[in-house]
Amino acid sequence: MAPLNEVKEKLDRLTEQLKKYAYQYYVLDAPEISDPEYDQLLRELMELEKEHPAYQHEDSPTVRVGGEPLDYFRKVQHDVPMLSLSNAFDAAELRDFDRRVQDGLGYAPVYSCEVKIDGLAVNLKYEEGKFVLGATRGDGETGEDITSNLRTIPSIPLKLKEPVSIEVRGEAFMPKKSFERLNAAKAEREEAPFANPRNAAAGSLRQLDPKIAANRHLDIFIYSVGKLSDQQLTSHHDALSYAKELGFKVNPETRQFDSIEGVIEFCEGWLEKRQDLTYEIDGIVVKVDKLEDQVKLGFTAKNPRWATAYKFPAEEVVTRLRSIELNV
């Protein structure tokens, strides 16, 4: 075992490194390393903190959601915090998640699976059917008011089909085609390209001039409904159908399963199929479907206990797995 001072030094170093990467990603929209590399370092830090909790920093990236909101936007306090998701990197970790859920509930739940769009989480607020406020997740408690930029996304309804007061959450994103066009134009002007569609979408929505966002051809999928005036919904699945009825764009790639094995098959099936989508996804979100079960399971400081994100392995790993399967 390494001496304690070395462990502490490593933990401090990793914390500082990850804080820097998180700032570049969440605040500057310009990451220096890839997401799988970041996730790997974050896991290392989590392990060290688990073994030596006394050394954990209060503002460790393992306990904080997202990044600080930018000062030049009006700040918005979220009524319900916008959290992150726990991760599962393989089938065994999905089974661990299922075990924890079943331990919490005392029975096997129905799971709802949907693609995890690689974009930017936003909260949209409607009063009597009218779009009044759109905010980023920010640090989970406080986000940025980006209403005028969000109003330029054609798939965000400015008026709902019913005059309800409601808040919904979704992922704003840049389709692959828009991203390619944007980077080609940047190359022509000899400007630095965006690293990926996620950062391009986030960068576009955090501009002061809404004309920039309007020209970037962004889109959105709504994935949750919160703060309803008086609608009786019993499951996540019902909530998504209701969101669709109101006029929101909801992703069609959603399935329900009554066992984790079905969930695993669905997740692994997307390893290759993801290439066919017109937008980027970085995994599959698995949610306990019944809202009553979600309430029973509750939240940790950073994540809901009733959901997890299955993360795809980095592209090189997918290719290697495929070669092993094909025996080449």
Binding residues for ligand NAD, per CB under 6 A? 21-22, 24-25, 31, 33-35, 38-39, 65-66, 84-85, 87, 114, 116-117, 121, 137, 171, 223, 282, 285, 309
Answer for the pair 231, 218: CB distance below 8 angstroms, yes or no: no
114 annotated as ligand-binding? yes
Neighbours of 32 (CB within 10 A): 12
230 annotated as ligand-binding? no
Q: Considering the candidates 10, 20, 116, 302, report the single residue annotated as catalytic.
A: 116
Token pair 């060290």 is found at 48
Closest distance to ligand NAD from the beta carbon of 179 (Å): 17
**Considering beta carbons, is residue 129 or 304 the nearer one to ligand NAD?**
304
Closest distance to ligand NAD from the beta carbon of 4 (Å): 28
Concatenated DSSP letters of 220-265: EEEEEEES-SS----BHHHHHHHHHHHT----S-EEEESSHHHHHH
Token pair 């984790």 is found at 260
35 annotated as ligand-binding? yes
Q: How far is CA 289 from CA 59, 91, 224, 297, in A?
A: 32, 20, 12, 12
Distance of CA 72 to the CA centre of its chain: 24
51 annotated as ligand-binding? no
Token representation of residue 138 = 């920010």
38 annotated as ligand-binding? yes
116 is catalytic: yes
**Considering beta carbons, is residue 213 or 243 the nearer one to ligand NAD?**
243
Q: How far apart are CA 192 and CA 186, in angstroms?
A: 7
**Considering beta carbons, is residue 126 or 279 the nearer one to ligand NAD?**
279
**Considering beta carbons, is residue 38 or 179 the nearer one to ligand NAD?**
38
Q: Mind telling me the catalytic residues?
A: 116
Binding site listing for NAD(+):
35-39, 84-85, 114, 137, 171, 287, 311
